[in-house]
Structure 1
Amino acid sequence: MAFLADSVPMGEQTVTPREGRDQALPRSATAPDEVAPEPRGGRLARMRAPRRPRLWFEILLIAVSYWTYSLIRNAVPEQRTAALNNADWIWRTEHHLGMAFEESVNHAVNSVTWLIVGMNYYYATLHFVVTLSVLVWLYRSHPGRYAATRLVLFATTAVALVGYYLYPLAPPRLMNGGDFVDTVMVHQTWGSMASGDLKHMSNQYAAMPSMHIGWSVWCGLTIFALAKLPWVRILGLLYPVVTLVVIVATANHFWLDAVGGLLCLAFGFAVARLWYGTLPYALPRVVPARGTGGPLLPTKG
């Protein structure tokens, strides 16, 4: 058997079997808090442990979940009268608070054609593009945190459906007697569920809570918590701020709808915290392959 001699003080020497030394070496140079231990315990403990996401399952899950979300959201009775009455109440409440600024922002931005057209397309596209991009980034670079962070998004969206059912709300652009400009209709931009034939496929009175805010803040917090480059983290924080300006300027939401979106997001984080025992961003970045003590998933980005 081969041996390795290690120098020690006073000229003494000890020997350690090579096999034993190899076993004592660390399995990964990754920091301890970046590696998830192999799950132990009962079935529930194994279910709650971070695990390697499977691409085919995630694609199927996201597709089915969004289809279900759209189906339920659009199947909720529109309740036009209740939605308009609720919009009047929201508008009066904001005036009472001295914060009814949506109409001024809507008119000011609408006076700059290129700006409002850009915001219309922003509203119609980035809501989906950025959210999916963050999910893909999490899947590739933070597999140990992916499932928990995805759970936040799904729980947020699920509770929003309850809000659509219990509190139908017309957006400012559809208020009776309001002076808001429906920027999509005026500028004839494509892609919005509020325009053209698409408006007949979407519930126009599901403005509370705003998932544009719920999803954008989820994206922003995730990017800020996990990205390494400072300018990327700053962009993450700016994204929901710009989104708030867009939903108000296009008259698609009251600012109080944004508050509703934040409350839904807080619920989503609470669900993930209860299930995993910690916030998603505090979970290990990498996880062992399923059913083994390793190898560790590769660390990226």
Structure 2
Amino acid sequence: MSLLNITVPVEEPVWNSQPAWKLPGWAEPLIVSSILFGAMFLTRRRNYSLFKSKSQSGYLDDYSLNDSRDRLLSHNDYPNENSDEYVDIISTSKYPPKQRNCCGTMVHTPNTSRFKNNFHSRVLQKYPFLVEMLYWVINYAFYRFTSVASQHIFAKTGIWSVAEGHGIAVLETEQFSWLSFLFPVHERDVQQWFMHGHQNALTVLNKAYALIHIPGTVGFLCWYYYVAPSFDTFAIARRTMTLTNFCAFITFIFYPCMPPRLLPAEYGFLDTVRHDDAQSVWMSGKYVNTLAAMPSMHFGYSFCIGMTMVYHSGLFRRTLEQGESRKSAFWKIFYLAVGIGYPAFILTTIVATANHYFMDALVATCFVFFSFACNKVFYVFIPLEDLFLYSIRAEKPVPTTGSRFHERGGKI
């Protein structure tokens, strides 16, 4: 297939807009940290002291550990009470081991309830959102690893040329394959529309691309942890986003793909990010994967957030969760508008700034649906979580998700 079919005459861009104002390097980490620690404080367990007192003796026992994340699992914490195994364990231990169902095999893990009054364990019980913060630190570390892994795999062939070839292949697929009917509009046309008469709007989109992705996603998780009617509901959204991450990260490693803005000039794309110096501090540095256009996690996150907002509106649900009440017409419309508008805005942003192809968004959408269907795969890590908590001598915290929701009558 001739490359002339997707190349255009090279023209020097005429910039009528001034580069956007750049935030200082410390601003973005400060924003994200403020969101996280604000959520940690907002979702704290109230009327619970970090220091054990006689008046609080047995607090966690009274609170009912059945409300912890353990209830998300289809397993029995302990052997059947009528079994010989149960009798043997009870006779030899005050804290019988938990029994976990891992891929159809029953495994025993240490019971960490013996550590519930350790100080760091009480910190977790007071601020259970700390666990969510840890999960996303692990996610971010995994993302940083993708660049190193991909460069190692393609060291001999040269990752830059491989990624460029993949980017061109994406354009050819969109325009000339049997899937072309899914892409009636071309990315170059979208960017050119903004370049001719709407450059100030393009500058806004550049800053949105840099600033909304991480703070917006973190802010959503914090907000939904607080307002979700139950931890089960929040955990589905969080596990879906996490599995979408892992699917994307594996793709980043084995299918490096150059974003349109970095392709040779003859393909007609402009690097508006460089003009506006619109690079997020989270997406810069030695270990950032600049050749990770496929799929677009900007759109993957926004689509997952949007679908959660639509669900939260209650418009398309006949039944509500326990303790949840119907929202007013205003809030239903508000959540529906955000659920549709936010992914649409992000799609426009990633294409207009030439950071992604339309196909990147399509693949990200497929990953979200797959991850939603398979989100319970993370249950296999529960035994490892038990062992980790045992190694640090801490008890699993009871989530506070839904407590303030029910206090407000389910109207959040």
Provide the secondary structure at the position in 2 that maps to 1:170. coil
Identify the match of residue 247 of structure 2 among 139, 159, 162: 159
Name the counterpart of 1:67.
141
Q: How do residues 136-155 of structure 1 correspond to structure 2 at under 5 angstroms?
A: 136-142=222-228, 143-144=230-231, 145-155=233-243
Q: Within 2, Cα distance between the matches of 1:235 and 1:74? A: 36
What is the CA distance between 1:105 and its match in structure 2? 0.7
1:103 and 2:188 correspond: yes
Identify the match of residue 294 of structure 2 among 208, 216, 225: 208
1:231 and 2:334 correspond: yes
Provide the secondary structure at the position in 2 that maps to 1:251. coil
Asked if the contact 1:110/1:249 (under 8 Å) is kept, the reply is no
Asked if the contact 2:236/2:372 (under 8 Å) is kept, the reply is no
Q: Within 2, Cα distance between the matches of 1:114 and 1:162? A: 36
Name the counterpart of 1:169.
257
Runs (5+) with no aligned partner, structure 1: 1-35, 47-51, 277-289
Give the aligned length. Answer: 242
Deviations 1:157-203 (CA, angstroms, capped at 9, x unpaired): 00111111221111111112321111111233353777xxx365422
What is the CA distance between 1:72 and its match in structure 2? 2.8
TM-score between both structures, scaled by the size of structure 1: 0.71
Deviations 1:266-294 (CA, angstroms, capped at 9, x unpaired): 22102226678xxxxxxxxxxxxx999xx
Asked if the contact 1:209/1:258 (under 8 Å) is kept, the reply is yes
Q: Within 2, Cα distance between the matches of 1:40 and 1:90? A: 42
Q: How do residues 100-139 of structure 1 correspond to structure 2 at under 5 angstroms?
A: 101-111=186-196, 112-139=198-225
Q: Within 1, Cα distance between the matches of 2:340 and 2:347? A: 12
TM-score between both structures, scaled by the size of structure 2: 0.53
Asked if the contact 1:110/1:183 (under 8 Å) is kept, the reply is no
Amino acid of the structure 1 residue aligned with 2:293: A
Q: Go from structure 1 to structure 2 and tell me whether the alpha carbon gap of 1:85 and 1:55 turns closer, same or farther (over 3 Å shift).
A: same
Identify the match of residue 162 of structure 2 among 79, 82, 85: 82
Deviations 1:61-102 (CA, angstroms, capped at 9, x unpaired): 222322232233454217111111111111122221263610
1:42 and 2:73 correspond: no
Identity of aligned residues (%): 26
Name the counterpart of 1:178.
267
Deviations 1:5-36 (CA, angstroms, capped at 9, x unpaired): xxxxxxxxxxxxxxxxxxxxxxxxxxxxxxx9
Q: Within 2, Cα distance between the matches of 1:73 and 1:263? A: 23
Q: Within 2, Cα distance between the matches of 1:38 and 1:152? A: 15
Q: Within 1, Cα distance between the matches of 2:397 and 2:199? A: 58
Runs (5+) with no aligned partner, structure 2: 1-69, 78-99, 103-124, 314-326, 380-395
What is the CA distance between 1:41 and its match in structure 2? 5.0
Amino acid of the structure 1 residue aligned with 2:207: Y
Q: Go from structure 1 to structure 2 and tell me whether the alpha carbon gap of 1:62 and 1:242 turns closer, same or farther (over 3 Å shift).
A: same
Q: Go from structure 1 to structure 2 and tell me whether the alpha carbon gap of 1:179 and 1:123 turns closer, same or farther (over 3 Å shift).
A: same
Q: Within 2, Cα distance between the matches of 1:141 and 1:117? A: 34
Amino acid of the structure 2 residue aligned with 1:243: I
Identify the match of residue 277 of structure 2 among 188, 192, 196: 188
